[in-house]
Chain A
Amino acid sequence: MSTTRTRTPLVRGRVGELMPRRDAEPKVTGAFAYSSDLEAEGMLFAVTVRSPHPHARIAAIDTAAAVATAGVHAVLTHADVPGRKTVGMHRADQPVLVVDVVRYQGEPVVIVAADDLETARRAAVLVVVTYEVLEPVADPERGEVLRDVRIRHGDQSLGADVVVSGSYEVGMQDQAFLGPESGLAIPDGDGGVDLHVATQWLHLDQEQICAALDLPPAKVRVHLAGVGGAFGGREDVSMQIHACLLALRTGRPVKMVYTREESFFGHVHRHPAWMRYEHGATPEGDLVYVRAEILLDGGAYASSSPAVVSNAACFAAGPYRVQRATIDARVVMTNNPPCGAMRGFGAVQVAVAHEAQMDLLAAALGIDPVDLRVRNALKTGDRMITGQVIDGPAPVRELLEGLRAMPLPLERGSLRADLRELPGGVANTTHGEGVRRGVGYAIGFKNMGFAEGFDDYSTARVRVSLVNGEPLVEVHTAACEVGQGLVTVLEQIARTELGFEHVVVLPADTTVGSAGSSSASRQTWMTGGAVKAACEAVRERLHELAADRSVEETVEHHHRPTFPLDPETGQGDAQVALCFAAHRAVCDVDTDLGLVRVVEIATTQDVGRIMNPAQCEGQIQGGIAQGLGLALMEEIKTENGLVRNPNFTDYLIPTILDMPPVRLAISETPHPDAPYGLNGVGEPPTIASTPAIAAALRAATGRPVTRVPVRPDDLI
């Protein structure tokens, strides 16, 4: 089912071809400039004073000693924020700098700029903040409800003969990007500022900086700097406003780079979740109803929690046809670390539950778990639990059948196996003793793009000019390359549409219209669509092209409208399009020690159209690694609001030794609404990979495994 289009192109590097990315070599050789590598003549270094307490009232802030330190140029507090004192993606509830009450550990209180980093750090230590410590609300059951999404689909009185229920838990995962929050703000000497920053959404940053600085957009230009990973963690602002404030106050460029520990406090995380599920089915295995109560801890501020909880509710039942759904999902506010966007966005948490439930149900019915899924698979024309009729592709059955048909990895051979292939690896703990193998299947889905009536769009400016008689295509957008390979794809699109070899994708900044966020698996669809449309408009006018005359078009691409969910019933056509991926995990477990070796992950994913095969596979491999991390090790641990492991010694990320080979088959069912028929690729691999591993561990050990990350002691 894997296809790679072959054509004989006139120019190389068109859509569908394996075109190498231009940033690959500099990134591998270390020549690539990340946002933390920027420098400017005469720049200052800035640091942040953060609250050590998760909940406290600030009685006084004394900056005198810091201000008096030689080499210090500015020490600013909330009083120095000239405009709106709060920021936030959905609601502006988060102070730029704490005004009176601290709501989470690590919240920024004071910012300091000095000649060098050491001076800035020493001055920061001299800032005296007097806190009246308050008891934190750390238990989400006691949190204040931020949003509550109810879905009442179908006849609510429907019952079923076969009923299974369970409770599930997902820990707080971190994006764990390697490039810390960082950037450089350069004042223009005329009351304005240029900010170079690693971000996901330039115009949202600009809007929030303008509000806080009380400046018009023309005075605040935001430029994308080299991004060292994002995964949702760079949608909310971190140091953006702080660096601009200090630059404008001091009249000097200001560089700000978070330390690794700070980075754990500098961005939102994936919501931890507690879920209670009940599934009812007929004895033949037709799903009758799904009931779910879902609780997400949003932490101290709203961030994108309202949208995450909506996703958790909309995708709560999995990609299955179900007559009745009764879903109560709520996200609460506590004094825990703020949670928000992370790859998979609400669909990840519920997949852990709905897929475990499907396996329970299969066992109760005595049906093969894949057969049960196939029997209930959503298809085009079916209704989701939100009542929305799926008019795009929904190849759930095809993905499951394709996955099942893929060969399994070889059985473990003799006891002489390479130790690296066994649980515990080279630590020598087993040469085969106590090892049992398990296989687990899972499938998940989520939406491409934003939902519930958000009028999302992207803007592209394409210009063709003649340089020494040769056409040069320049593509300008504000879309953020966050490592996913967008720049390469935009280049391929322009080359495909215009047929010219020489295409340059200009650096992304806010001097062109918004591209929206590099999130929600949307950027190739949205900005790719905008570039395609702009190229088409340019193509119509190519006859005007002359040595002294270039042709330029700026086009906005909107997707079709979506609609809010009804607050009582949760019904509504809220989604633009759906993406699907299925995973099969094969795990060996040392059942005496609780150690796991993931032997292989196999996956089938439908991407609509493979825009660039290597990049497509890269997204899938990377997403699976993140899914494996959530299944087995990645968790921010908190205790009464305090983060216990803000470092990469104790926040564990999978390494190459933990990552198994991935067997993949990518299919292409064109999406009728999308440019080239493409679909979102980035998020689906993170969704079902986690529950597939959990299922394999259940199969190997017979233990319930209702929580991820799975702990070794859960397996013995």
Chain B
Amino acid sequence: MQTPAPFGYERATSVDGAIASLQRLGPEARIIAGGHSLLPMMKLRLANPEHLIDINDLVELSYIREQDGEIRIGALTRHVALLKSELLARHFPVFADAETVIADPVVRNRGTIGGSLCQADAAEDLSAVCTAVKAKVVIRGAAGERVVGMEDFHVGPYQTAVGAGDVLTEVRLPLRPGSGSAHEKVERRAGDWAIAAASAAVWIAAGRITDVGIGLSAVGLTTIHLTRAEDLLRGQAPSEDLFAEAGAIAAADCSPGADGRGPIDYKRHLVGVLTHRALRRAAARAASQEA
């Protein structure tokens, strides 16, 4: 199939209007943002929403700014804006690392951070990035707004804390000193989804890792949050041996499946090397920020 099934369509003029429409139309209604995940699924008839509520006119959801000790990113911010943001590059270079290799310029001109997180495809890069930098997301529904940490965001494959009548409005990245971050991804060919990817963020003070976040893409049913490896690293002085050990834990703690992108052993091996390298690069960046 190359064409979607018939559907109703409306353009939202405000976030509250979109939420009201979601409530009114029920569970068969869906938000459409960049459409680069939803439309392919509709063409393949994997998704058959009866109504689409288009939020692309909501320019108030498109921004990257610093406020109250956080970087705040509107849900409708496109990949290309994340790629080019100097503010993000300064504080969280992991975004530019990831955005350089998310799909291709055509997809990046349209796809959004909100859509990426809500799609919650395990192979998607930004969920791992947000996991690593310990982002919080703002979800608004009929009952008001709530703030959810990434650790509580994924509730199952393709399932998030964003409910049927909710809109994700903002992503918040707490700013803490001494940070460094990096994303590393292995893909079969430029523009492809990951075979495996690792995102790492570290916060270093006085030669010690005060906090660390690691997220993995494409090696489990959802984005993987490497808590065991994080526990190992916290409080330690950064070193090659330590990062190698964290890589070994990562290889053990992921759960990839075998598919056209490669066998399980190879994917585990990749995770080990990528985690090690991402930590090394994140720590080096933290060090250069300190200087």
Residue pair B190, A657 in contact (C-beta under 8 Å)? yes
Q: A428-B100, A713-B262 are in contact. Are A633 and B188 (CB under 8 A)?
A: yes
A residues less than 8 Å from B2 (CB atoms): 259
What mask results when residues 76 to 119 of chain B are scored 1 for a CB within 8 Å of chain A, else 0? 00000000000000000000010011000000000000000000
Cβ of B274 within 8 Å of any chain A Cβ, yes or no, is: yes
Residue pair A593, B189 in contact (C-beta under 8 Å)? no
B residues less than 8 Å from A434 (CB atoms): 273
Residue pair B266, A594 in contact (C-beta under 8 Å)? yes
Residue pair A713, B190 in contact (C-beta under 8 Å)? no
Cβ of B140 within 8 Å of any chain A Cβ, yes or no, is: no
Cβ of A622 within 8 Å of any chain B Cβ, yes or no, is: no
Residue pair A595, B262 in contact (C-beta under 8 Å)? no
B residues less than 8 Å from A654 (CB atoms): 189
For B94, give the chain A residue with the smallest CB separation: A428
Residue pair B277, A430 in contact (C-beta under 8 Å)? yes
Cβ of B186 within 8 Å of any chain A Cβ, yes or no, is: yes
Instruction: Tell me the total A-B contact number using a CB cutoff of 8 A.
Output: 66
Cβ of B269 within 8 Å of any chain A Cβ, yes or no, is: yes
- What is the CA–CA distance of A657 and B105 in the complex, to the nearest angstrom? 14
Residue pair B260, A633 in contact (C-beta under 8 Å)? no
Range class of the B interface residue count: 20 to 34
What mask results when residues 189 to 205 of chain B are scored 1 for a CB within 8 Å of chain A, else 0? 11110010000000000
Q: Which of B200-244 contact A (CB under 8 A)?
A: none
Please pick, from B100, B187, B273, the residue contacting A592 in the complex, using a CB distance under 8 A: B273
Q: A711-B262, A713-B263 are in contact. Are A429 and B185 (CB under 8 A)?
A: yes
A residues less than 8 Å from B184 (CB atoms): 427-429
For A425, give the chain B residue with the smallest CB separation: B190
Residue pair B273, A593 in contact (C-beta under 8 Å)? yes
Q: Which of B1-47 contact A (CB under 8 A)?
A: 2
Cβ of A433 within 8 Å of any chain B Cβ, yes or no, is: yes
For B1, give the chain A residue with the smallest CB separation: A121
Q: Which of A670-716 contact B (CB under 8 A)?
A: 711-713, 716
Cβ of A644 within 8 Å of any chain B Cβ, yes or no, is: yes
Residue pair B182, A428 in contact (C-beta under 8 Å)? yes
- What is the CA–CA distance of A80 and B139 in the complex, to the nearest angstrom? 62
Cβ of B122 within 8 Å of any chain A Cβ, yes or no, is: no
Residue pair B270, A593 in contact (C-beta under 8 Å)? yes
- What is the CA–CA distance of A425 and B273 in the complex, to the nearest angstrom? 16
- What is the CA–CA distance of A658 and B190 in the complex, to the nearest angstrom? 8
Closest Cβ of chain B to A677, distance in Å, is 41
Closest Cβ of chain A to B182, distance in Å, is 7
Cβ of A650 within 8 Å of any chain B Cβ, yes or no, is: yes
Q: A428-B183, A650-B260, A652-B188 are in contact. Are A716 and B277 (CB under 8 A)?
A: no
- What is the CA–CA distance of A204 and B22 in the complex, to the nearest angstrom? 60
Residue pair A429, B274 in contact (C-beta under 8 Å)? yes
Residue pair B189, A652 in contact (C-beta under 8 Å)? yes
Residue pair A637, B260 in contact (C-beta under 8 Å)? yes
Cβ of A655 within 8 Å of any chain B Cβ, yes or no, is: yes
- What is the CA–CA distance of A20 and B275 in the complex, to the nearest angstrom? 51
B residues less than 8 Å from A655 (CB atoms): 189-191
Q: A645-B260, A712-B262 are in contact. Are A658 and B101 (CB under 8 A)?
A: no
B residues less than 8 Å from A645 (CB atoms): 260
Interface of B is mostly: mixed
Residue pair A713, B266 in contact (C-beta under 8 Å)? yes
Most chain B CB neighbours (cut-off 10 Å) among A428, A431, A645: A428
Residue pair A428, B189 in contact (C-beta under 8 Å)? no
Cβ of A178 within 8 Å of any chain B Cβ, yes or no, is: no
Q: A427-B184, A433-B277 are in contact. Are A658 and B97 (CB under 8 A)?
A: no
For B261, give the chain A residue with the smallest CB separation: A650
Q: A430-B277, A593-B273 are in contact. Are A633 and B100 (CB under 8 A)?
A: no
- What is the CA–CA distance of A652 and B191 in the complex, to the nearest angstrom? 11
A residues less than 8 Å from B191 (CB atoms): 655
- What is the CA–CA distance of A433 and B195 in the complex, to the nearest angstrom? 20
Cβ of A426 within 8 Å of any chain B Cβ, yes or no, is: yes
Q: A711-B262, A716-B269 are in contact. Are A593 and B190 (CB under 8 A)?
A: no
Interface size on A, residues (CB 8 A): 29
Residue pair A427, B186 in contact (C-beta under 8 Å)? yes
Cβ of A613 within 8 Å of any chain B Cβ, yes or no, is: no
Closest Cβ of chain B to A705, distance in Å, is 16
A residues less than 8 Å from B281 (CB atoms): 428, 431
Residue pair B260, A426 in contact (C-beta under 8 Å)? no
Residue pair B189, A658 in contact (C-beta under 8 Å)? yes
Cβ of A483 within 8 Å of any chain B Cβ, yes or no, is: no
Q: Which of A382-433 contact B (CB under 8 A)?
A: 424-431, 433
Closest Cβ of chain B to A643, distance in Å, is 12
Cβ of B70 within 8 Å of any chain A Cβ, yes or no, is: no
- What is the CA–CA distance of A512 and B189 in the complex, to the nearest angstrom? 46
- What is the CA–CA distance of A658 and B266 in the complex, to the nearest angstrom? 22
- What is the CA–CA distance of A711 and B258 in the complex, to the nearest angstrom? 14
Residue pair A426, B100 in contact (C-beta under 8 Å)? yes
Cβ of B290 within 8 Å of any chain A Cβ, yes or no, is: no
B residues less than 8 Å from A426 (CB atoms): 100-101, 190
Closest Cβ of chain B to A366, distance in Å, is 34
- What is the CA–CA distance of A426 and B266 in the complex, to the nearest angstrom? 21
For A656, give the chain B residue with the smallest CB separation: B190
- What is the CA–CA distance of A655 and B192 in the complex, to the nearest angstrom? 12
- What is the CA–CA distance of A713 and B187 in the complex, to the nearest angstrom? 13
A residues less than 8 Å from B97 (CB atoms): 428
Cβ of B151 within 8 Å of any chain A Cβ, yes or no, is: no
Cβ of B265 within 8 Å of any chain A Cβ, yes or no, is: yes
A residues less than 8 Å from B183 (CB atoms): 428
Closest Cβ of chain B to A422, distance in Å, is 12
- What is the CA–CA distance of A652 and B269 in the complex, to the nearest angstrom? 23
- What is the CA–CA distance of A592 and B187 in the complex, to the nearest angstrom? 15
Please pick, from B101, B262, B263, B266, the residue contacting A427 in the complex, using a CB distance under 8 A: B101
Residue pair B186, A713 in contact (C-beta under 8 Å)? no
Q: Which of A429-444 contact B (CB under 8 A)?
A: 429-431, 433-434
Q: List 14 A-B contacts (CB under 8 A).
A: A426-B190, A427-B184, A427-B186, A429-B186, A429-B277, A433-B277, A593-B273, A650-B260, A657-B190, A712-B195, A713-B263, A713-B265, A716-B266, A716-B269
A-B contacts besides A427-B184, A592-B273, 11 pairs, CB < 8 Å = A428-B101, A429-B274, A433-B277, A434-B273, A593-B186, A593-B273, A593-B274, A595-B186, A633-B188, A644-B260, A713-B262
